[in-house]
Each structure stands twice: as structure tokens, then as C-alpha cells.
Structure 1
């Protein structure tokens, strides 16, 4: 894991560092601390990271002003902030978790487990996915998604209007964010169940899903029974 902490209070930054190192132990390959948004964004531009721990109030700077940018990245963002009034909006924009200050080790560990344990459901509903487009960040309403297809380290967002947008997060990371509202029907596909029409069973134990727009997607053999049960 490559982790960046953006926190202007040295005492809290050191506490976050200590708890992070304890949780990930030998799975931590790098950990950096930046005390301003400018330094943090410069670091992100020059170094790949897996997790960002971001405060929302940094020496008078509003971390929320860059939230749209960071959540469009390939990494997960965890907010660590006393600004709990912004938690709902932060979740809507696609952060993995919001850890309110003051926090303890148990609460921070819970946030990290959302990344390391695929079965941990995010309680708050994500309403948007942020994508980079022509140098800008655009917010795509989750309700406009028809399905998501894995494309290597990226993901293709297939929209109801027929357009396709590329997201910097992998399908695995988006599956962690969208757990509960989207179903993983195949190693390469995520769908909201409401777009599904019916399951098609073909000879040779091959399964496909007919969508309401007429498209047909493959269903993984290991996911067929669970999907069939959910569509009853």
C-alpha cells in the first residue's frame, strides 16, 4: 500500500501515521505526509498512491474544494475531519469513508477494512462518480449509469444515454465503492439490478444477462446462483 496523509496538524498527522503503520504493517510500501493542499496535490501528481487520508480544513484552505478532483483518481479517499456536516456530501461524491475527529484506532481500522475486506458494505449512498474529461472533472449521477465494464486499470462507465466515459478507478475499486447498489455479475461487469431484464441460460452452463436496453452481458458461473436468487 502507498498512502498519503494530507493533514496540517502535526500531532494528528503523526497519530494517523502511527495507526496506519500498525494496521498495514508489512503491506505498507510508502507513507508520506503533506501539511497543505498544494503540497498534497503536487505529491499526487508525481507519485502513485493507493489511499489518501484527507482533512477538510487545512490552514484555512477548504479540502472540499479539491475533493472532486481526488475522488476521480485511481486511489481511494478517506476523509478524516471534524467537519461532520460535510459527511453526506463527501460520501455522495465518492469517498470511501468519513472518519470524524476526534477518532480512535478502532474507527480508523474500520475505514481501512473497507479496502482490505471486500464484504464490508458502505452504509452511505454514493450519488456521483467523478471523471476527468478534457482537463476538467465532471460528476456523473449514479442514476445515469447503465453498467460498468472493467478496462484494465480503468473502468468504462456505460450511460443510459448511450455514451461511455472512462474512469481512472479499476472495476475492483468501484465495486468497493458501489457495494450494495451495484451487483458484480462477472469479473468484468458491474450493474444496478434495476436494469436487468432476465437471465439467459445457454447450453454448456453458459449464462448471460439480458438488459432492458437489449444488450446482453456475460454472467460468471460463480455468480449465477446468487444473481438468480436476487432477481426472483
Structure 2
């Protein structure tokens, strides 16, 4: 996933970058710009999936950036102290408007909207191809209990208790699989049909109990969205 941040305050830009990486995972192509000129160059060089845009960039209006590019080619989240410009922002077709100062939970809510929008409910993917002992075997996605990230690979945990190693990252599989698969943690992707209930632990920690009784962690940033899907 490619994301461009356009923010002229270095401290805020670093915070946005940190929270963005925490939500979307380490395998992220992230570019940070501090001016409209830099932002325009980044967008024209390689169009992103998501633009995070401030509206006051060294005294220049951030809307000028959107008007200079094809905003429909990517999603945009405005992060700005000018809350009175929210209506104008939505008229430009942005996905969300996050007012400054912002809490981590509010930015994560906007990121969750991006994730839901980028998912492909119409995906016709039925099988995952796994290379094993010189052969290729097909795993029916309905046989998956959950998928766990393992660096640049993933572990496919099957309903029969077996595990298979897949050569695509969790981020890539999340893009390929249908919307019935939910990213509940930076390292876990679960078919929502396998979910039984959410367990709230001490210290603000959450776990998802699967139908076979197995427990997998839920990231704090994912808890509210997952709870909404299960209720």
C-alpha cells in the first residue's frame, strides 16, 4: 500500500507517520512531504492509494493540491485544524476529515474507513496457491481458520489443524481476499465466519475466540470496527 503524507509541521508529520505504520503494518510505501510542490511531485511520480493532507501548508491552501491532480485516482483524508472547511473538503470528494488536534482513535477510525473501501467484496478468489515440495497445492479459502503474518510470508492456519506457508505478505493477501476476511490485528487476518466472540482482558487488551475455541489477539485500533461487524 502506498501512502503520501503532506504536512508542513515536522512534529505532527512524525506522529501521523508513526500512527500510519502502526495501523497498516510495516510493509508500507510511505512518503512524507512538507509542501504542495513536494506533494504534487510525489503524487504525479507514483499515484498513491491514500493521501493524508493538511490544508495550511506554509500559508498555501492544501485544496490547491487536490485541484491539481486527479483526486479520484486515490483516497484522501484531510487532517486539519480548519474544521469549518470540512464541507468544502467533502465537496472535493475526500473520504474523511480529521480535525486537529486529533486522538489516535479518531485517526484509526479514518484508516478503518480506508481499509473497508479498499477491500474488494466482489473478489472472485476461491483458492490460495501454496508451493510445497516442488508442487503447487490449492487451498480453498473456506478451509482457512485464520492467517498469521510471518514477515514477508504468511502462515495459513487450516480448519483441520494443519499449517501451510504462503509466499505473499499479510498486506497483499488482505487486498486479494474478499471482504469476509477481517484484519483484526497487524499480524492476523480472520474469516469473520470463524469468529465466535470478543473477550475483553485486563489492561485494555482484546482477544477473539474462534468457533474451535482458539484465541487470537485483536489490535486496539481494530477493536471497534470488529465489534461493529459482530454485533
TM-score (norm 2): 0.50
1:25, distance to aligned residue in structure 2 (A): 6.2
Which runs of no fewer than 5 residues in structure 2 stay unpaired? 2-42, 48-69, 75-113
User: Is the aligned partner of 1:171 residue 2:189?
Assistant: no
Q: Which residue of 2 aligns with 1:200?
A: 199
Q: Which residue of 1 aligns with 2:127?
A: 128
Q: Which residue of 2 aligns with 1:154?
A: 153
Task: Give the match's secondary structure for 1:180.
Answer: coil
Judge conservation of contact 2:198–2:227 (CA < 8 Å) in 1. Answer: yes
Q: Which residue of 2 aligns with 1:210?
A: 209
Write out aligned runs for 1:1-232 (5 A). Answer: 26-27=45-46, 119-122=117-120, 123-232=122-231
1:126, distance to aligned residue in structure 2 (A): 1.0
CA–CA separation in structure 2 for the residues paired with 1:225 and 1:132? 36
Instruction: Tell which deviates more after alignment, 117-126 or 154-163.
Output: 117-126
1:180, distance to aligned residue in structure 2 (A): 0.6
TM-score (norm 1): 0.50
Root-mean-square deviation (Å): 2.5
CA–CA separation in structure 2 for the residues paired with 1:210 and 1:124? 26
CA–CA separation in structure 1 for the residues paired with 2:169 and 2:119? 18
Q: Deviations over 1:75-113 (max 9, x none)?
A: xxxxxxxxxxxxxxxxxxxxxxxxxxxxxxx9xx79xxx
1:27, distance to aligned residue in structure 2 (A): 4.7
Deviation beyond 3 Å, 4+ runs, structure 1: 24-28
Judge conservation of contact 2:208–2:216 (CA < 8 Å) in 1. Answer: yes
Which runs of no fewer than 5 residues in structure 1 stay unpaired? 2-23, 29-105, 111-116
